[in-house]
Every structure is written in C-alpha cells, then in structure tokens.
Structure 1
C-alpha cells in the first residue's frame, strides 16, 4: 500500500499545507482518510478525486471533515457530468454533519454524491482489496482509530484524534506503519482526553509493537523536534514526521520506505 500525506496540520490548515487528509492506495483501490480544510484542492495535485472508492472520517470535528462540501460540489457539478455516489464512513451522523457544514436544510440528502455509513469500534468493512477495522479513540466527540490491511499483508494504523487508550494499542498492534497524532507537547499541554503528546504516541507504538511511527496532526505552534524527542524516549523504532506531499510505502515485512 502507498500512503500519501495530502494535509497533516493539526486543528486547522497551516502555513505549509492543509489539515488532515491522507490517500491510501493499492493497485486497484483508493481511499481517503479525513478531508480537513484545504485538502480538497491539494488532493487534486495527487489524484483525480473521481477515482476514490471510499472516504473514512476519523471523527466529525471540522478540521477533519470540512472539505466534504468541496467533494460534494466536485461530484455534483463536474462539467463532464455527475460522478455518482461514494461511500462515506464516520462515527456519528455524517449526513447531519455535512448539512451543518454546507448550511443546507433537511431536504438536502446528498443522495447523488454520498452514501453515508456510521461505524464504531469493533466494526470491520471491506473496500476493494483493503480490509478496514475500527477501534476506540478518546476524544471529546465520537472518534475511531482505523487499521487497514492491504492485499499483500501490509498494515497501516491511523490514530485519528485521541489520547492514550487501549483501543489505540490494539489498532497499532504489529502494524507496519502507525500514523499517529502528536498535537501536544508534554511540558506545555497538560489537558487530557483530547490529544497525544509525542511521548504518549511513542508509548502506544512501543506497547503495540508497531514497526514504524509517523507523527502527524502537529499544530502550527507544535515543534516537530520536541514531539520527536518525546516519542524517542518511549519508542526505539524508526520515527518520521508527516509533511504535505510526503509518501510512505507500507510493506510487510515492514520498512520505512518514503
């Protein structure tokens, strides 16, 4: 599988790129993880949005789903004709949230563009040649971690937004690559049950036996060197920081190919 970072800034779009959005691809299947602010335009630098097979939203905070309206406009009003529906999976009511973002009334169902599905920890779906499992996350709104197994056995785990929890350890268990948020710095951010520090991200990766750790969702004021150093205190494996446009090849046996 190939992971492409479309956007990775935490809590908002940032001076160097869009908020959370990631492309996961095999030879036959393409899915999106999250569609944060600014991601729709950047997505078109990497793939034709018409070619995606599913959208998975880790949760429904705006910094992870705002550009679903851009996707809806693209799919409905493309001059060559409407594109039809694509499956959208999220914890919580994705249809209601999309109406809120679009400012639309209850008569707008987006039935021509999206087929909404609610998922929760314990659910498993299949999209093309990918098997996708959902696990608990700890956040102020319903949220899930995502574990994707590709056709050749490679495993990508994505934390979404979370604090430390056993669900994250389970999602990342022996994963070839764990894409994990690290929005907080330990000496600066003491609030709990919202985000991870680099240290807590490293602890999850170590307990899970993840083979590679990629830190993401860093806010514009979060220092990559600081969260990497925190993670290194807990985790001995390879660590990288996500950057817009960065790519990783998720292979099994695992290597940090980028």
Structure 2
C-alpha cells in the first residue's frame, strides 16, 4: 500500500500546496481520500481521472471536497467520458451538497457521473477494508482507516481531540494527522482541530508506528508544527508535503 500526498494545506490552498487530497494505491486500485481545492490537478500528475477507483470524503467543508465539481465536469465532458460512475463515500447528504455547489438540480445532480454512498462503520472498497469513526467537528466528519493485508493507514480528517480517534488508529502503521492549531494558543476554539501536541498524544496513545503531520494552514510553518508534535510522540514523525510518498 502506498500513500501519495496530493495536497496538505489546511483550511485553504497555500502558495505551494492544494488543500487536502491523498491518493492510496494497492493492487492497481486507486482510492482518493478527500479532494479539496486544487487537489484534482495534483492528482493528474499521478493517475488519469478515469483511473480513480473510489473517493472517500472525510467531511463536506470545501477544502476537503470542492474539487468534486471539477471531477464532475471531467466525467461528463472530457474526451474520455463517459466512464464508469466513480463511487464517492461521504457523510449523508453528500450528493445534495455537491449538486448545490455546482448549482445543479438535486435530480439527477451529479449522480449520473458519480455514485454517492454514505459511510458505514466498515466497507470494502476495492482491495481495501475501510473503517470509519465519527469525529468532533462543526459538521459531520469522519476519520478513515484503510487496511490492506496486515497494513493500515489512519487519516484523521478534521477533528478536535477525542477518544474515538485513538481507538480507530489503534496499532496503525501510519497516522496521517491534521495539526491546524498551534499549541497553547488561547484563541484555539474547542472541538474544531488538533494541535501538534494533540496529534502526537493521539498517535502515542494509539500505538501508531509512524506519524505524518498534515493540514497545516499556510499562515503556520509545517516543519515547526511537526517539531512540536515530537514533544508528545516518541516515534518517527514526518511533515506532509505535496508529492510525498509513503510506503506502508
């Protein structure tokens, strides 16, 4: 299983990175986790659009899903179209939300091109067993654990600190964790995002084998956030950057 970072800028696209997007590949199958602003362009450096096997959305904030609009256009109008409907897993109501984003009627919305499905606690997506758990965020949001053979990747999506994340990530080979807030900042709102200390603490408690810090807004320094995560997590810690590849 291989993880490729398409975009890792938190909350908004940055000058050197799209918003959230990650490509997980095994056995020739390509699963995209989140498709935020700019991530579709980065994806095409690695695979062609018709090669997408499925998409999983952690939640419906624009920095995690809005490039589905571009995907819809490609699936409807590109020379390769039409191609088989791409499964899109996400929170309940994803189809209606994306139709609204592109100013389409609900029926059919994007459903002739994309096959919208609501997250279940566990589902089989291509060669992957995918588990989810609800997170703590202002909108319905999920952390996502992708398993292939005896290996696993757990992606936090966006969340405040919570025990469900620790349980979902238990023993994971790689925890891809957001760290959108700064440690010890009195302005940090509750139940929104993790700090680097939170990310490290969750990884440590889960027994994660590696930690990758992502979703850092462009107004903070990614490497500083990663250094701060090392204060609470004693294992191997990396900074996500566009094009980074991790073998799992």
TM over 0.5: yes
Measured against aligned partners, the alpha-carbon deviations of 1:114-153 in whole angstroms (never above 9, x if no partner) come to: 1111125xx10101111000012110000000001113x1
Deviation (angstroms), 1:76:
1.1
Aligned to 1:155: 152
CA distance in 2, matches of 1:80, 1:87: 17
Superposition TM-score, scaled by structure 2 size: 0.96
Q: Partner of 2:191: helix, strand, or coil?
A: coil
Q: Could you tell me how far apart the structure 2 residues matched to 1:81 and 1:115 are?
A: 15
Counterpart for residue 198 of structure 2: 200
The aligned length equals 247
Q: Is the aligned partner of 1:176 residue 2:167?
A: no
Taking the aligned partners of 2:124 and 2:80, their CA distance within structure 1 comes to 29
Q: Distance in 2 between matches of 1:70 and 1:106?
A: 17
Aligned counterpart, 2:188: 190
Distance of 1:43 and 1:78 partners within structure 2: 16
User: How far did 1:27 drift?
Assistant: 2.0
Provide, for residues 217-253 of structure 1, a one-character-per-residue CA deviation record: whole Å limited to 9, x for no partner.
0000112233223211111000001000110001xxx
Alignment of 1:72-111 (within 5 A): 72-111=72-111
> Separation in 1 of the partners of 2:78 and 2:50?
10
Q: Which residues of structure 1 form unaligned runs of 5+?
A: 251-258
Aligned partner of residue 12 in structure 1, secondary structure:
coil
Q: Does 1:231 align with 2:216?
A: no
Give the Cα–Cα distance (whole angstroms) in 2 for the partners of residues 127 and 47 of structure 1: 18
Question: Separation in 2 of the partners of 1:176 and 1:228?
Answer: 18
Q: How does 1:29-68 map to 2 (within 5 A)?
A: 29-68=29-68
In the alignment, which residue of structure 1 is the partner of 2:2?
Answer: 2
| 1:135/1:170 contact within 8 Å kept | no
